[in-house]
Each structure stands twice: as structure tokens, then as C-alpha cells.
Amino acid sequence: MQTLQFPQALQTSQTLQTSHFHEDEAVAKLSKLLALECGMSPEKAEQIYIAALLHDAGKKKLSAELLNKPDKLTPEEFEVMKTHTTFGAEMLRCVEGDLGVMVRKVALYHHERWDSCGYWGKSLSKLPRYVEIVAIADTFTALVSPLRTYKQPWPPKEAIDYIHSQAGSHFSHAMVNIFLQLLRTNDRIAGIYEPLLVVPAIIVTPKNATQGGVRNSRRFRI
Ligand SMILES: [Fe+2]
Ligand SMILES: [Fe+2]
């Protein structure tokens, strides 16, 4: 049975020094590394870093009460939550040029999915690749984050297994493979999530072995 070993430091989790962990910054740093892993230029990766940093800008227009609600959102509340994407794109309309196009697309579409079952029903396959990069970085970060009031942080192994299980549905197989490849080979990932992590071993099981076994039903929202 194939197993994937990840860098020593990116291992099982416990919540440590969570005040030092900033979600948007983690999403931005991971997005930049993913862009480079995809073969994008350093200049493009830097733009993606900025777009990822601003992806949830529209949340500033939503109430803290909604954002921090510990219980499941009602359908009405979920509709309001979705508007952080349109608010974000609107707030970023003053950004000019290629970067402006990128930041607005990322703000508007970072909750889309490969299978078109995201916020606005658009497939990631029809959007620029940088949108999927930020979407996968955002999802992983949301899963392991200790800053969500409605859930416990997922241990990284479970979050990685979950991303693995989403190949072909939430994300493309290609992007999931790039994500897994990056985790296997890039020690800088550990630095991004370091405030959350402590050692022991992590083994990501192959997709077939995780189907049905991953905590897909565990609650999270991004
Ligand atoms: Fe978002
Ligand atoms: Fe986010």
C-alpha cells in the first residue's frame, strides 16, 4: 500500500499560539507556493499572493455575529454569507490592470468548485487557474484553522485526506496532485502553519483507502 510521507514539521496538530496564526496570510502564502509549483512565474505568484490576501475582503461588510455564529447557518444566513464574494469584488474595483482583474475574480469566485456546486454554480474549470489555487489554499486553511467558532481545527492529516478525497469534485485531480506534491516536498509549508503544529508522524493514505473514511461529514465552512 502506497503511503505519502510529509515533512517532519507538518505533522499532527494541536492548537498552539493561535493568536499568531492569521488565516488570510496563510492562504496567501500557500497560494503563492502552489502557483510556483504550478510553474507560474515569480511575478504571477506574487500577484496571486496579493489576490489571496484580499480574497475575503468582503467579509468586512458582514456582521461579526454572522461570521462567528457557532451554529449552522440558516438558508437565509447562508445567502447573506455568500455576498462576501460580491462585496469583495465591488470593494476591489479600484485596483487597476491585470492585478485588478485577478483580485476581483478571486474575491468573487473563490467558493466555486470544479463540479459547479459552489456559491455561484460556476465550474473552476471555466475560471483562471489562480482561482482554483486560492480555493484549495483557502479550504485547507479553513479546515486546520483554530479561529473558527463553529468547529474545532482539523488535524492536518485529516485535512489533507479531505482535500485528497475532493479530487474530481471540489477540485481538479491535477490541482489536488500539485497540492499533495507541494506538501511532500516543500518544507516552507510547515512554516506557514507552524503556530498550529506539533510533531509526530503523518501518513496520508491513498484515495481509495480514504473514501468513506474521511470525515467528510465533519462540519466546516470556508
Ligand atoms: Fe470566502
Ligand atoms: Fe477564506
- Tens of pLDDT, residue by residue over 169-195, are 999 999 999 999 998 887 788 778 876
**Residues with a beta carbon under 5 angstroms from ion ligand 1:** 56
User: Is 217 inside any structural domain?
Assistant: no
- Give, rounded to a whole angstrom, the gap between the first and last alpha carbons of the chain: 32
Per the structure, the count of domains in the chain is: 1
User: Is 66 inside any structural domain?
Assistant: yes
CA atoms within 13 A on the CB side of 215: 14
User: Is 12 inside any structural domain?
Assistant: yes
User: Is 200 inside any structural domain?
Assistant: yes
Question: What domain range is 129 assigned to?
Answer: 4-210
**Segment (H or E) for 184:** helix 173-185
In whole angstroms, what is the distance from residue 65 CA to residue 61 CA? 12
Distances (CA, A) of 183 to 87, 119, 138, 192: 32, 27, 15, 12
What pLDDT is stored for residue 196 in this prediction? 64
- CATH no. for residue 92? 1.10.3210.10
What pLDDT is stored for residue 158 in this prediction? 92
Give the chain's largest Cα–Cα span: 52
Any idea which ligand is nearest the CA of 137?
Answer: 2
Ligand 2 centroid from CA 16, angstroms = 21
Full-model pTM: 0.82
What pLDDT is stored for residue 103 in this prediction? 98
Ligand 1 centroid from CA 182, angstroms = 23
User: Is 222 inside any structural domain?
Assistant: no
Ligand 2 centroid from CA 2, angstroms = 32
User: Is 153 inside any structural domain?
Assistant: yes
Any idea which ligand is nearest the CA of 111?
Answer: 1
Ligand 1 centroid from CA 19, angstroms = 20
Q: Which of 213, 220, 132 is nearest to 177 (CA)?
A: 132
Do 160 and 5 form a contact (C-beta atoms < 8 A)? no
User: Is 35 inside any structural domain?
Assistant: yes
Q: Does the pLDDT of residue 214 top 60, yes or no? A: no
Do 197 and 15 form a contact (C-beta atoms < 8 A)? no
Ligand 1 centroid from CA 191, angstroms = 23
Q: How confident is the model at residue 149 (pLDDT cuts 50, 70, 90)?
A: confident
User: Is 215 inside any structural domain?
Assistant: no
